[in-house]
Each structure stands twice: as C-alpha cells, then as structure tokens.
Amino acid sequence: MLTIETRATDLQSHVAAARGGDRRAWRQLYDAHAPAVHAVLLARVDPIEADDLVQDTFMKALEHLDQLQDDGAFGPWVLTIARNLAHSHHRKRWRWTRLTRVIAFRPPPTSEAREALEAIRSLPEAYQELLLMRLVEGMTGPEIAEKMGRTPGSVRVSLHRGMKLLRAALGEADE
C-alpha cells in the first residue's frame, strides 16, 4: 500500500519529469488529476463545456509548468488554473456556429442529473467541488484531500456537511 509520503514523492518526480519533456509522466499527471479538474469545472460551467475546459486547463498547466514552485502542490495548482479558466470563460463573448454534426465526449445529462447538479451549485461554494469530486467523479475522501491539498479529516467533515445540505436542497429527509 502506498503511503501519502510515497505518493507525494511520486507526484514530485512526475512533475519534474514532465517539466523535462517526459510525455508519459505528463499523461500520468493528467490521468491522476483530470477527474478533480472536471469536478471543479462542473461546479462553474455547463457540463457540455467542461470537457473542453479540462483540456484547456491541462494545456495551460503544461505551458506554465516551469512556474510551479512546489512540485508537490501540483494538484491545488492545476485546480486553481481550472477555476481561473472557468471564471474567464464566463467573461468571454462566444460566437456561436451551428454545427452540422455534434461530437460529444459524454452523453447529455439526464433531467435528474441536471437537477442534482443545480442543487449542488446552489450550495455554498466550499461544498460544490468536493461533492462533485465525490459524486460525479467517484473520488474517495483521501483522493480529494490529496488533489486539493487538504487533510483527509477536513475533507471528510466537509463531505458530511455538504451531503446534509444537498439532501435538504433536494428535499430528502435527513437520515
């Protein structure tokens, strides 16, 4: 079983290798952090736009990887890039072009999924990303803590409180 220290050392070595041009190391960073980035973006943009912004986030991260001062902080750093891109995305004016063929990476959300997403987005910001990482991306508490640079205990408490608020928002009784 890998310890948190071992994973942190692996993360630092992957970041250093990616900075040196190792594409395999970059792919491993992408695979490890893309679900968390996707959850952060889902909290802020339409689900259809989230996939493209995940790619944009990692392109920007790769472009600026030399500016990351603490290789062990890659997770929180890439999540900050995602938050900033989502914020910029809302400020841009988009010109729309009608497509003759639609290409989708994920199926459009069902009405129940859309309702749940809206309920999550109605919660205080502190819970939105955590709940999306857990419920949509299937990440565990320790995985979320690692990606966000938080302690597992603080994530566990926040998830518990967030789930309680989500149940209330969806009109479900507290268990």
Q: What's the average pLDDT block by block, 10 residues per block, for the chain (175 residues)? A: 57 93 94 95 90 94 94 94 89 56 59 88 92 93 93 96 94 64
pLDDT at site 88: 87
Residues contacting residue 35 through CB under 8 Å, at least 6 positions apart: 133, 137, 138, 139
pLDDT at site 93: 47
Per-residue pLDDT of 23-54, as tens digits, reads 999 999 999 999 999 999 999 998 888 999 99
CA 106, CA 149: separation in Å to the nearest integer?
Answer: 28
Q: What domains are there in the chain, each with its CATH number?
A: 4-91+102-169 (1.10.1740.10)
pLDDT at site 10: 86
CA 102, CA 17: separation in Å to the nearest integer?
Answer: 37
CB of 11 closer than 8 Å to CB of 71: yes
pLDDT at site 1: 40
Query: DSSP of 80-131, one letter per residue?
Result: HHHHHHHHHHHHSPPPP---SS---SSPPPPHHHHHHHHHHHTS-HHHHHHH
pLDDT at site 102: 54
